[in-house]
Each structure stands twice: as structure tokens, then as C-alpha cells.
Amino acid sequence: MKNKINLFLVDDHKMFLDGLESLLKDVETLTIVGKASNGKEALELIDESVEIVLMDISMPEIDGIELNKLIKSRFSRINTIAISMHNDAKISEKLIKGGVNGYLLKNAEKEELLLAINTVIGGENYFTEEVKKTYQNSLFERENKKDQIPELSKRELEVLKEIINELTTREIAEKLFISQHTVESHRKNMLSKLGARNTAGLVRYALENGLGDQSKI
């Protein structure tokens, strides 16, 4: 007979935590080996016997995003499934980068929860359709936005970098070995290209669109 899957439950809402335990405790293939009301408590209780951690995202002290990272760094073989009220692309991205194995919404049916558990224990990741759609749409919008960003010249990007670093026109001119007039020309060109009203708007637009990423300039 196949060994039961050892689950650990984490949620700071007692009603949901108790409800989740009640929902799963009679499933023959599962064993609930522990539960915690926050991430800090969970880290103190989780050990190598745990196979899957079902965890909330929004929790005090240590949230689900950080808890996922810590579990993965301490127990590489433990799988993690996030269960949240929030269908947010930024949260999904952080969890995916942290190596999460699954992401469900709290309105999921019992059948989908069991499907996620079995999928993950089988070595594959499971993300509910709503989460996948939101994340994919976010990536698509980001790529479209990136394509719409006006192309700046190499010299304009160099000037932009120093503007972000809060250098004055004279300091930028001295550092790049160009005249102050040339610096101002590049600044005006960028204001026109990016549709910014002033230098503050130029910096804000650049940072929001990844143009101020120091590693890319």
C-alpha cells in the first residue's frame, strides 16, 4: 500500500486553518502532520517528514512568499503550495521565482485541491487556471509595454544613468567628456522621446519602464 502524503498546514486565520484540516483529515491518502498559524511558527515545527506545505500568503511576521523561500532553502525536498484569496501577478511572480510548486485560490473546490496535491507529489507544478491566466496576461502586457518604449541612443542612456544618480549637468559633462550644451541636448531629446514634462518625470518614467536598470545601461 502506498504511503500517505504528509501535509503541513499554515494559515493565520483559525477558521480557514481548521476548515482546511477538517476538509482533508479523512482523505485516506493524506496525513496532516502539523499546522501553524504563521510563518515563524511553521519554520519552528516543519521537519524532514513533511512532504507538502499548504500555506497562506498574507500572514504576520513571515508571509507566504518569504516562508516559501525559507522552506526551499532549508528543506529542498519539501513541496510548497500557496493558497490565497489574492490572484495577483506580482505575487505569482515572486512565488515562482522562489520555487513554489503550486498556487490555488481559497475558493477552489476540494477536488482541485486534491488534484494539486497529487500533481505536486508526482513531480509537476500545479497552478489554478485563474492564476495562470492573470500571470500570463501580465507577462503579455509587460512585453507589449516594453515594445512601446522609445529607443534611446547609447549616449542618451549614459546621460540618463547619471541623471538617475543625481549628477548635475556640469558633473555629467565632466564625467562623459562632453559639453554641458550636449548634455542638455540629450536631456531635451529624452524628454521629447519619453513624453516627460521635466527631469523628475524623465527619471520616474525611466525607472517604471526599466530604463534606469544600472545593469542594462
What pLDDT is attached to residue 170? 93
Q: What angle do CA 205, 211, 214 make, to 5 degrees?
A: 130
**DSSP character for 49?**
T
184, amino acid identity? E
Q: What is the pLDDT of residues 55-108, one digit of tens each?
A: 999 998 899 999 999 999 999 899 999 999 989 888 888 898 899 999 999 999
What pLDDT is attached to residue 136? 81
pTM over 0.95: no
d(CA 106, CA 17): 11
Higher-confidence position of 41 and 149 = 41
Torsion angle (degrees, nearest 10) of CA 24, 29, 34, 36: -40
* Candidate from 31-35, 145-149, 167-171 with smallest mean pLDDT: 145-149
The yes-or-no verdict on residue 142 having pLDDT over 70 is no
Structural domains of the chain, ranges and CATH numbers in brackets: 5-131 (3.40.50.2300), 148-216 (1.10.10.10)
The yes-or-no verdict on residue 184 having pLDDT over 60 is yes
d(CA 172, CA 175): 5
Instruction: Specify the residue for cell string 482523505.
Output: 27
Structural contact between residues 49 and 6, judged by C-beta atoms closer than 8 angstroms: yes
What pLDDT is attached to residue 217? 46
Q: What is the pLDDT of residues 150-166, one digit of tens each?
A: 778 889 888 988 998 88
The yes-or-no verdict on residue 148 having pLDDT over 70 is no
